[in-house]
Every structure is written in structure tokens, then in C-alpha cells.
Structure 1
Amino acid sequence: MIIYNSMIIWIVVLGIWNKLVMQAQGETQRFTQKQRDYKVPMYLAILTFGYIIFWVGMRSGVADTKAYINSFNAYPSSLATIPQYWDFSENKSPGFITFSILFKHFISTDYHMWLMTIAILSGIPIMLILRKKSKYFFYSSFLFMTGLIFFWMLNGMRQFWAATIVFLFSDWIE
């Protein structure tokens, strides 16, 4: 609970800091529906979501994390075993399993690195789209946290990762 509250406080503090810096620089402007030129500086977006991604990647016992860790540890690290996981009648997510096997073979067998990589690959698309599309980045980030949407990064990683990839390509979909 302390970590969750710290994430919310972190977003609020960075949002207030951004507002104060804007006022000090005289960049405060009224937004109209046609005028959405201001974007939060990238370093603030990275600081905001970097904190969230860090804690999501460092978890060990939240929600379905134990099941994901056990699955990752059970996956083989041999590339020759990948085709057996592509049977759609037996496996729910052959792409995710293939990613995990490739990760284990080429990068690391440590599940902490695997969880952090998935947290990064899930969090960055959300950060980029909120920064690009949201009129108020920090308010949208605050809603992302308080609406418990971020919980999908912990529970239902496979589905959330697929959703963030689709979300990332929303410009093409539009």
C-alpha cells in the first residue's frame, strides 16, 4: 500500500512541479479545443512512468506474479522447443511463451529482468500515448493510477502487453 500511495504522490508532486516551472517561465497558456501544442517535457514523462515501471518490474508477490514467475522458470531455454508451444488448441498465448523462451535463451534466465522488461515494454507505450494525446498528462497519469488501470501491468500481463501494443499504434488505427 505504501508503494501504491508513493506512486500517486509522485505523480502529483511532478504535476505540481511542472505547473510551477511553467508559471515561472511564463509559458502558461489557455488551451482551446484547436490549440494543444504543449506537451509535457519527455524527462518528466520518463520520471513519472519510470517510477511506476520500476515498482511494477521489481514486484515478487503481487496478484498473479507467483504464477508468472513459476511459468517463466518452467519454460525451457532451448530454441528447439518453440514450435511445440505454437499449438493454439493447448496454449493460450504462444507469442508470449515464445517471447519468454527467446528472452531466457538470449538475455537472461533471471525472472526479475524478465518482469522488468515486460514492465518497460508495457509502460512506455502508455507513457508515449498519454504524452501525445492527453491534454493534461499528469491528470491522465493520476487517473491511470487511481483508476487501478496500472494493475493490469501486474495481473494479466499478457493481455495488457497486447493492449498496449495496439494502443501504441492508435494513430494508424485512427
Structure 2
Amino acid sequence: MTILWINLAFVYVFSLFARYFSSESSSLNNVKPNQVLVLLCGFTLVLVSGLRNNIGDTYYYKHSYEMNTLSWGNVDFSGDFGFNIFQMILQKISDNSQILIFTTALITNSLIVFILYKYSRLFELSLYIYITSGLFLVSMNGIRQFMAASIIFAATKYIFNGNWKTYFFIIILASTIHQSALILLPIYFIVRNKAWSKFTYLLIFLSLFIVAGYNQFSQILFASLEDTQYGHYQSFSEGGANILRVLVSAVPIVLAYMGREKLREIFPKSDYIVNLSIVGLLFLIVSTQNWIFARFTIYFGLYQLILISWVVKIFRKQDEKFIYYLIVLFYFLFYFYECVIIFGTEYQSNYLG
């Protein structure tokens, strides 16, 4: 964990000074963090993620890269062929599997840092939550899916301006890396509505209804997936997601609801971010019955990083610091609880001590 703690400290300090030395901007977030320090944040995240040799399924990706030489003749265009083509290109550069891990880390983290740079109100808080909420660790586990999620996250502006054609093209492109990205196609029409409308409450009720009747719901769902590459999820039996994670994800949404009018005033596009965060929470609620549904929250958790950086600003000026420090403290405790107490996370690298 030593490297991960150092990573947290460096990223937070760099990003804090990036905002401290920011300049005024006419963009959505009103401030423009210092670009050199933003690059240092991205560099630190990429370095730590890209030079690892463990965590999650990292070993299996490295092993597959070394064992399977890909060419145009053996790429299966019926599956996630985009990632296979990506690996094929990398294999022409080097047969060292670390290039796969480093390049995916570079693409994923660079896109995430760039979007947070553009839309986050408190840049350092967004990056801090990216790490302490566990998303940074998840990016080292679900490599393909998180890479697809970061590509879609980079298309946030097309949600804001309603350019669905370009947004759909990017989703389809990302689906060649992980087909689950296609779920964002119908989701687009859901989130392009005013937050906290009747439709929002209908979605919340639907998620609770699914939880209550999960056995019947799962039978219908997995029967429809039986002949797809996700059919094996039917036998998935690792239990449900931790209820504490659900509560942690619910906090920024509850705060956004409490200050919804002021949030719209200071962040006119907040309805879309709130809706995306709500959809992510609903998937997380359902995942308490089967952890596999938490995989979909990868696509929505990134938007909470933007949301939480704005909800601090809905409070009175004299209360902002108190709320800010509470968020920092409780997310730190959550990070410690998950990484040290629950999972006993260990970071290993052949390049970093």
C-alpha cells in the first residue's frame, strides 16, 4: 500500500496547487487549473497504474498478451475486436506485456484527468475522490471496461450540447473495447431530462422493485443473455456489493437534491450529471443482490467525481470549508476501510520500489 498512499498524497498536493494557481476562465467551471500541475497529476496516476504487475486481472491480461500473438488473420470481429486490434498494434512495438498495462493506464487516466480539468469545480477534490472512492483501483482491475468508460467520459460535452450522433458514434467505438458500453445508448435519452422529475422517482422506485423481486428479475435477464458473451454471469456467485459503498455513493446525490435549485444556478448543466449519478446509484442498489451489476457503475461513477466537486458550493460560504473537510475525512476513512481492512490491497511493481 505504500506506493498507493504516496500516490494519493502526490496527486492531492499537485491538484490542490493546480487550483491554487488557477486562472479565471469563461468555461463551465469558472476556473482554469494550472496546466503544468494538472499534467503532473496525470503523470503520477499513469506512472503508478502503468507500472504495476498485480491488482485484479492485471496478471491475466499480461499473460494473454505474451501467449497470444495477434494478427489481422486471427482477430475475432464478432467480439470486443477493438481491444484485440489495440493489442495487435502494441505487439508490433514490443512483446513486453508491460506496454499493454502502461498504455491502457495512459489512455484511461489522461482522459479522466482532462475531463475533470474541464468540468470539475474543485479539481483536487475530484481527483482525491477518484482515488479514495476506489475508482482508481477499479481502473487497474477492469482494464477493458474502464478504458471504454474513460473514452465515453471524454464525450461528456456531447451530452451537454445534445449532439447525440457524435455521442453515439463514440459509444459504438468504445463498445469494440467492451460491449457493455452499449448500455449508454438508451441511457442518453434518460439523462437528457431535468433532474428530480417524476421520471427520476420512477427510476428509483424501479430499482427498489428489482431488488425486492430480484429472483424473478435475474431469471429473465440471464435467460436473455444466455447466448451472448455475458451468459456466464448467470453462474456468478460472489454475493452482493457492500451496502456501505451504496451509502457512500448516495451522499453526493442526496446533497445535490438538498441544494438542487442553487446547483442549477451555479452549474447550469448539472441536471445531466445528477441524472448520470442517479443511474449509477440505481445499478449499485441492484448490485447488492449480485455484485456483477456493480460493473455497470464503472460508466457512471466518473460523473460523481464532477458532481461532488460542485455540491460543496451549494452551502453557505462559511460552511463550505467544513463540508469540504468532512468529505476529505470520510472518503479517507472509506479508502482505508476498503483497501486495508477489507481487501488488504497490496501494490507490486518491477519498476517502483
* Bucket of the pairwise TM-score, normalised by the shorter protein: 0.7 to 0.9
Per-residue deviation at 1:146? 0.4
Amino acid at match of 2:13: V
Tell me the equivalent position of 1:109: 95
SS across alignment from 1:59: coil
Tell me the equivalent position of 2:74: 81
Tell me the equivalent position of 1:130: 116
Point out which structure has higher relative CO (alpha carbons under 8 A, 6+ apart).
1
Tell me the equivalent position of 1:140: 126
Per-residue deviation at 1:65? 0.8
Tell me the equivalent position of 1:12: 12
Judging changes above 3 Å, is the alpha-carbon distance between structure 1 residues 42 and 87 closer, same or farther for their aligned structure 2 residues?
same
SS across alignment from 2:38: helix
Determine the C-alpha separation between the residues in 2 that align with 1:148 and 1:40.
24
Q: Deviations over 1:65-121 (max 9, x none)?
A: 111111111221433222xx1233xxxx2221221112212x221111221111111
Judging changes above 3 Å, is the alpha-carbon distance between structure 1 residues 21 and 36 closer, same or farther for their aligned structure 2 residues?
closer
Per-residue deviation at 1:162? 0.5
Amino acid at match of 1:63: G
Determine the C-alpha separation between the residues in 1 that align with 2:65 and 2:15.
37
Per-residue deviation at 1:40? 0.8
Instruction: Report sequence identity in percent.
Output: 25
Structure 1 residues 146-161: aligned runs within 5 Å: 146-161=132-147
- List gaps (5 residues or longer) in structure 2: 161-353
Judging changes above 3 Å, is the alpha-carbon distance between structure 1 residues 87 and 14 closer, same or farther for their aligned structure 2 residues?
closer
Tell me the equivalent position of 2:151: 165
Per-residue deviation at 1:21? 4.8
Determine the C-alpha separation between the residues in 2 that align with 1:102 and 1:153.
22
Tell me the equivalent position of 2:64: 71
Amino acid at match of 1:171: K
What's the TM-score once normalised by structure 1's chain length?
Answer: 0.82
Judging changes above 3 Å, is the alpha-carbon distance between structure 1 residues 77 and 136 closer, same or farther for their aligned structure 2 residues?
same
**Which residue of the other structure, out of 78, 81, 84, is the alignment partner of 1:97?**
84
Please identify runs of 4+ aligned residues in structure 1 that moved more than 4 A. 18-22
Judging changes above 3 Å, is the alpha-carbon distance between structure 1 residues 21 and 95 closer, same or farther for their aligned structure 2 residues?
closer
Tell me the equivalent position of 2:40: 47
What's the TM-score once normalised by structure 2's chain length?
Answer: 0.42
Per-residue deviation at 1:49? 1.7
Q: Deviations over 1:104-146 (max 9, x none)?
A: 12x2211112211111111111011000000011110000000
Determine the C-alpha separation between the residues in 2 that align with 1:128 and 1:18.
13
Per-residue deviation at 1:16? 4.5
Tell me the equivalent position of 2:205: none
Tell me the equivalent position of 1:59: 52
Determine the C-alpha separation between the residues in 2 that align with 1:114 and 1:104.
9
- List gaps (5 residues or longer) in structure 1: none
Per-residue deviation at 1:61? 1.8
Tell me the equivalent position of 2:177: none
SS across alignment from 2:83: helix
Determine the C-alpha separation between the residues in 2 that align with 1:38 and 1:20.
10
Q: Deviations over 1:48-67 (max 9, x none)?
A: 12101101000012221111
Aligned length: 158
Instruction: Work out whether residues 108 and 114 of structure 1, in 8 Å CA contact, stay in contact via their aligned partners in 2.
Output: no
Instruction: Work out whether residues 53 and 116 of structure 1, in 8 Å CA contact, stay in contact via their aligned partners in 2.
Output: yes
Q: Deviations over 1:31-58 (max 9, x none)?
A: xxx9832111111111012101101000
Judging changes above 3 Å, is the alpha-carbon distance between structure 1 residues 127 and 35 closer, same or farther for their aligned structure 2 residues?
closer
Determine the C-alpha separation between the residues in 2 that align with 1:135 and 1:149.
19
